[in-house]
Amino acid sequence: MPTAEPAATALFLKRWLRRPLAMGAVVPSGRLLAEAMAAATLAAMEGRPGHVVELGAGTGQVTKALLAAGIPVQRLALIERDHELAAFLRRHFSGPQIIEGDAARLPRLLAGHGIAEVAAVVSSLPLLSLPAEIVNGIVQGVFEALPGGAALVQFTYGPSPPVPRGLRESLRLEGVSGRRIWRNVPPAVVWTFRRPAAA
Ligand SMILES: C[S@@+](CC[C@H](N)C(=O)[O-])C[C@H]1O[C@@H](n2cnc3c(N)ncnc32)[C@H](O)[C@@H]1O
C-alpha cells in the first residue's frame, strides 16, 4: 500500500497529470515494493566497489528504502529527469548525489559527475510505457555503465520481464524475478538482470 508522505503523494500525482507516460504510476511505490527493490539491490552490489545508481528516483520512496537497508549514502547517486521532482529530492535528501538528467544519457551523466565505477543500477523507470527505442537506449546505456556480472534491478507491474526479449537476447541478459508484491498499487514484481562477466 502507498506509504509516502502526503506532500510526496500530492507532488507525484501532479507530475503524473503533467506527464503520465514518464511517471508510469499515479502514486509512489509502496513500502513493501521499495523494500524489495532495496533488498535486491543490496544483494546485487555485494562485494562490488563503486556507486549504486538509482534511475527515476521520483519522490524518493525507493531511495529511503535503499538507505534504510544500509547502502552508504556516499555511494548512492539518484538520477531524475523531472525538474520539480529533482528539487523535491534535494530538499529531502542531503546525502546522495542528485543528478537532474535523462537516464537515456546515463554513461555521459555519470562521467560528467565523476562517477567512474558502478556497483549496481536500480530503476523505477516506467519501461512498459516508454517507446521501444527509448527503452533500448536506456538499457544499453545501463549495461555500458555496469561492469560484466553486475546487475540492473527493475520493477514492473506487467506479467512479462520489463526488459523486452529482443533486447535481453542482444545484450545476453539473464533475468531473475522475485514474487509479485500484491500489497502495492498496482501489484509489482522486482526483476534482476545481469550480463554474465566475460570468461
Ligand atoms: C514510477 S515513477 C517512480 C518514482 C519512485 N522511484 C517510486 O518508486 O515511487 C518513475 C520516475 O521516473 C522518472 N523518469 C521517467 N523517465 C525518466 C528518464 N528518462 N530519466 C530519468 N528519470 C525519468 C519520472 O520522472 C518518475 O519520477
Look up cell 535528501; give the residue.
Answer: 93
Q: Whose CA is nearest to atom 13 of ligand 1?
A: 56
Q: What is the distance between the alpha carbons of residues 174 and 192, in angstroms, rounded to a whole number?
A: 8
Q: Residues 97, 76: contact at Cβ < 8 Å?
A: yes
71 pocket-lining for ligand 1 (C-beta < 6 Å): no
61 pocket-lining for ligand 1 (C-beta < 6 Å): yes
134 pocket-lining for ligand 1 (C-beta < 6 Å): no
Q: Note down pLDDT in tens along the chain; length 199 residues.
A: 445 688 888 888 889 888 888 888 888 889 999 999 999 999 999 999 999 999 999 999 999 999 999 999 999 999 999 999 999 999 999 999 999 999 999 999 999 999 999 999 999 999 988 999 999 999 999 999 999 999 999 999 999 999 999 999 999 999 999 999 999 999 999 999 999 887 5
- Among 13, 52, 82, say which to mutate for ligand 1: greatest number of ligand atoms within 8 Å of CB: 82
56 pocket-lining for ligand 1 (C-beta < 6 Å): yes
Q: What is the distance between the alpha carbons of residues 112 and 97, in angstroms, rounded to a whole number?
A: 12
Cα atoms in the Cβ-side hemisphere of radius 13 Å centred on 159: 0
4 pocket-lining for ligand 1 (C-beta < 6 Å): no
State which CATH number among 3.40.50.150, 2.40.110.10, 3.40.50.720, 1.10.3080.10 fits the domain covering 6-194.
3.40.50.150
Shortest-distance atom of ligand 1 to CA 37: 8
The model's pTM:
0.94
